[in-house]
Amino acid sequence: MVEFIETLRLFIVDHRSLEFIIIFGGALLGGEFALFTFGFFTAQGVLPIWPVVILSFLATFPPNVLWFLLGQTAIAEKVFAHRYANNTISMIVQAVTKVSRGSHVIGLIFIKFLVGTPFILTMYVNKTRINFWQFIVYETPAILLSLLVILPVGFLSGLGFTYFANIFNNLYVGFSFLLLVIIMITIVQLWFKKKFTKMEN
């Protein structure tokens, strides 16, 4: 993962004309990991901050809209109505509703920070029957909040990487710090998912 980040950094430096395409495409396909990486590169001075924020915001919508539309299809309806899936899906949706107290905005924000977000998002929109424009309105704060969390975490990680690499005059120390941050984020996500699973039960 760390090697991938370094390879991507070198690619961006060598292909400045593709900078905006890389940001948009990365955010479109790479999800939270791409946002973290872009925040990291912003701190390194590899990418400009405002194009990262604006393009990441715009690129995050299409995948979420795709999952929303999938939740409206007859195929999704048949899958979710299956006797083996229906009870589990109902419990998940009820847990989200309980945490959000019936607010779709809070519900979508909560879903945004769960591991396995796309599938849960599809289940939620299928069961709650919110329409497309409601979804856009409710999803916008969730996307903004995710950017306000993930990009700064990546940015601070980039600052930490530079600090430790310079202090110890060793890039491997900087990479070790970055790896530690990624591990900590993963642990927090798993803890969050575990808490959510307890709520279901």
Question: What value does the mean pLDDT take over residues 108-132?
Answer: 72
Whether 11 is in a domain gets the answer no
C-alpha span between 193 and 198 (Å, rounded): 9
Q: Count Cβ atoms within 10 A of the Cβ of residue 130 and give its class: 0-12 exposed, 13-18 middle, 19 or more buried.
A: buried
The answer to whether 164 touches 177, Cβ cutoff 8 Å, is yes
| Count of domains observed in the chain | 1
Does any domain span residue 14? no
Confidence of residue 87 (pLDDT cuts 50, 70, 90): low
9 lies in some domain: no
- For residue 39, what are the contacts with CB-CB under 8 A and spacing of at least 6? 52, 150, 151, 152, 153, 154, 155, 156, 157, 158
Note the pTM of the prediction, 2 decimals: 0.73
Tell me whether residue 10 is in a domain.
Answer: no
Asked if residue 24 lies in contact with residue 58, where contact means CB atoms within 8 angstroms, the answer is: yes
Q: What tens digit of pLDDT does each residue of 134-151 get? A: 888 888 888 888 888 889
Is position 154 within any domain? yes
Q: Average pLDDT, whole number, for the chain?
A: 76
Q: Specify whether the CB–CB gap between 155 and 43 falls below 8 A.
A: yes
Upper half-sphere CA count for residue 54 (Cβ side, 13 Å): 7
Q: Give mean pLDDT, residues 54-77.
A: 85
What pLDDT, on a 0 to 100 scale, did the predictor assign at position 54? 94
Residue 3, in any domain of the structure: no
Look at residue 89 and tell me whether its pLDDT is greater than 70.
Answer: no
Q: Report d(CA 32, CA 37) in Å as an integer.
A: 9
Residue 50 pLDDT > 70: yes
Predicted pLDDT of residue 105: 73
Residue among 23, 35, 70 at smallest CA distance from 155? 35
Long-range contacts of 104-113 (CB under 8 A, 24+ apart): 104/128, 104/130, 104/134, 104/138, 105/138, 105/141, 105/142, 107/138, 108/138, 108/139, 108/141, 108/142, 109/141, 109/142, 109/145, 111/142, 112/142, 112/143, 112/145, 112/146, 113/146, 113/149, 113/189, 113/192
Question: By residue range, what is the domain housing residue 158?
Answer: 19-200
Is residue 2 domain-resident? no
Q: Does the structure show a pLDDT above 90 at 120?
A: no
The winner for highest mean pLDDT among 11-25, 73-87, 88-102 is 11-25
- Does some domain include residue 137? yes
Where does the pLDDT of residue 88 fall: very low under 50, low under 70, confident under 90, or very high at 90 and above? low
